[in-house]
Chain A
Amino acid sequence: MTMKNYCWALIDAINEEMARDPDVFLAGEDVAAAGGAFGGSRGLLAAHGPLRVRDTPISEEVIVGLGVGAAMTGKRPIVEIMFMDFFGLCMDQIVNQAAKMHYLYQGAFKMPMVIRTMTAVEMGIGPHHSQSLEAWVGHVPGLKVVMPSTPRDAKGLMKSAIRDDNPVVFIENLALHKIKEDIEDEEFLIPLGKADIKRAGRDVTVVATGLMVHKALAAAEILSQEGIEIEVIDPRTISPLDVDTIVASVRKTNRALVVTSAHKPFGLASEVAAQIMDHAFYDLDVPVARLTPPFTPQPFGKGFEAFLHPDKASIVAAVRELMA
């Protein structure tokens, strides 16, 4: 076992996969010489050379397009869009090209590409760098969407994403870059589409993603002292969503709360709530609750984020309300 932070766990994953498969390459803004805008690709240029680790112009549409064309012609590209907020610049390549190629041409082309991107929610960098936009891509058939919350999950999921024959949007969380975890030295994969029960409990199912997983776990400690045991489920992959694990938990607890950094309307919290209605309505003792920031852009100034985003106090309060 070796203690790794989230950022290095991802570097390790990419490094291992590049060593394993010569078709894997990495391209994006500042990924090569600089080692990544946030250090997420340190050492890869030296290890794999300038053709396979390549800085691109600031041209998001062609960065993704590069990946699409390379994937269609036998490569396994990892293309990096520095922040998910920049997806507006490349959505055509993601939604109309990458996501549909396998379907449209009935499998004649595989699309083994990873679109590596990041949310910097609650990092205090304002309205164009802090958004949680996973719903944009979760809504598109043909895409897979991963958003890990721990170093081990990040590593195992990145390796699976690189080996997957579908376009995978891999959303890192900058706020989690420094968290550490013991990770086995032996190779391992974590399958896409499988949720993880981060804490078992009998009273309330709490589905949380990214940063909110950690807030939910902190809330669980407090609630446990009150005798309320919440079960914290991290879907890890939001598309395809592991509905079975969530539903099995709700069948046990009869109560559910979904906590996300993304907004309610048309978002993951709403999707999870709807899946619970579809599959476990007659196991619900109270309505499914959603805890998210209010429907506003993310302002910059100090204090705005703390005010807008769910925290352990609001999670505790929401759970207490479910238990009333």
Chain B
Amino acid sequence: MSPRKQTAGAKTPVGPVRTVEPGHIFQMYRKMLEIRECEDQLNTAFSKNLFPGYIHSYLGQEACAVGVCSALRDDDYIVTTHRGRGHYLAKGMALTPMICEMFGKANGICGGRGGEMHAADPALGILGGNGIVGGGIPYATGAAYSAVLNGSDQVAVAFFGEGASNQGSFHEAMNLAAAWNLPLLFVCENNLYAEMTPFSASSRQVDVARRAEGYGIPGEVVDGNDVLAVYAAAEAAVARARSGAGPTLLELKTYRYGGHFQGDPCHYRTREEEAEWRARDPLIRLHAHILSQNLSSESELDSWREDQKAQVAAAIEVALSSPDPDPNEALSFVYAS
């Protein structure tokens, strides 16, 4: 199915295939709000030249990270990409050290060494972002193999975009995971553009999920803007992996509101297309679902938004007032002693 042909707007309801506890839904909504606020305010800060480097915005894709990570435990592993902030937050990373890292500060989660594309936390199974498209997928197999060797039921998730699905690393990793029956989820967030080139120009098969057939594993196209659909698909794939049934490829159809990076003029796509996708906004849809099911009130949802807004603003304030790293620190940690 093509996401362009999907019907737009709040008329497209979120599609829970099974009952999800309201508390769990609220958690997902608040997490999506946190990501949304974070991306919004970072974009603003970047536009004001408050921090250096790039910013690869996750705006619009919040349901992907939150839906998948909601199906994971703390001891499950994730490997992510240059556009990884949604995954970090969804897997539980604290907001302030992550934002300080975006600003390259001494109290960033990497001490300012990584910047926007890198963060990790072994305790949460977050095995890092990546500056290389497709660079993380191969080592997700190693994390999955550790679980096999340990005889544990942990799973690993490799997040990547449809652009990375044209890298050899994706195919090598998927083939190995299939051949070895690894507890590994391949989660492709297909936001339609590999950097600034439409996926349709790079691949004759526009459904990445179909590639799974070639490796003998299940592949599934999922509405990536429907957090409950993503959650349901991820939960089923995780259960398969935990049970020893091997890897799954999930393709989450979604859309990147910003360009490849903040400031990308997006000449390669139309305003109409952007508007169409904004009408299918994952937060709007979950918001509508919560109200339509009478799970919560408009005012409570608004208060959550204000709460997340304030928390992100506070974290950015901390980042702005934090010290830069001591340059001498650059010489440490090259080798483990």
Contacts and interface: CB of A to CB of B under 8 A. Distances in A.
A160 interface: no
A59 B172 contact: yes
A103 B335 CA distance: 7
Interface string B127-171: 110111001111111111111111000001000000000001100
B113 interface: yes
Nearest to A141: B334
B310 interface: no
A73 B143 CA distance: 6
B327 interface: no
Contact of A105 (B110, B142, B172): B110
A210 interface: no
B139 A92 contact: no
A134 B140 CA distance: 27
B148 A51 contact: yes
A101 B119 CA distance: 11
Contacts of B118: 104-105
Nearest to B179: A57
Given A61-B138, A106-B333, A72 B127 contact: yes
B122 interface: yes
Interface string A209-249: 00000000000000000000000000000000000000000
A85 to B, nearest CB: 17
A70 interface: yes
Nearest to B118: A104
Contacts of B169: 61-62, 65, 92
A83 interface: no
A78 to B, nearest CB: 13
A96 interface: yes
Given A70-B142, A72-B142, A65 B137 contact: yes
Nearest to A23: B149
B143 A69 contact: yes
A51 B334 contact: no
Residue of B118, B144, B149 ringed by the most chain A CB atoms within 10 A:
B149
Interface residues of A, number: 45
Contacts of A10: none
Contacts of B201: none
B17 interface: no
Contact of B146 (A56, A59, A73): A73
Interface of B: 77, 79, 110-111, 113-114, 118, 120-122, 127-128, 130-132, 135-150, 156, 168-169, 172-173, 175-176, 179-180, 332-337
Contacts of B336: 102, 107, 110-112, 164-166
A279 B173 CA distance: 46
Contact of A92 (B120, B132, B142, B335): B132
Nearest to A105: B120
7 contacts: A64-B138, A65-B142, A66-B139, A68-B138, A105-B118, A142-B335, A166-B336
A97 interface: yes
Given A73-B146, A75-B146, A66 B333 contact: no
A65 B175 contact: no
B142 A67 contact: yes
A39 interface: no
Nearest to B140: A69
B179 to A, nearest CB: 6
Contacts of B113: 103-104, 106
A290 interface: no
Contact of B142 (A71, A103, A106): A71
Nearest to B138: A65
A74 interface: yes
Contacts of A67: 142
A59 B137 CA distance: 13
Nearest to A27: B145
Contacts of B168: 61
A66 B135 contact: no
Nearest to A79: B142
A108 interface: yes
Residue of A62, A71, A74, A107 ringed by the most chain B CB atoms within 10 A:
A62
A25 interface: yes
Contacts of A74: 146, 150
Contacts of B144: 69
B110 A69 contact: no
A259 B28 CA distance: 63
A194 interface: no
A109 interface: yes
B333 A103 contact: yes
Given A96-B132, A101-B128, A66 B110 contact: no
Contact of A106 (B77, B110, B128, B145): B110
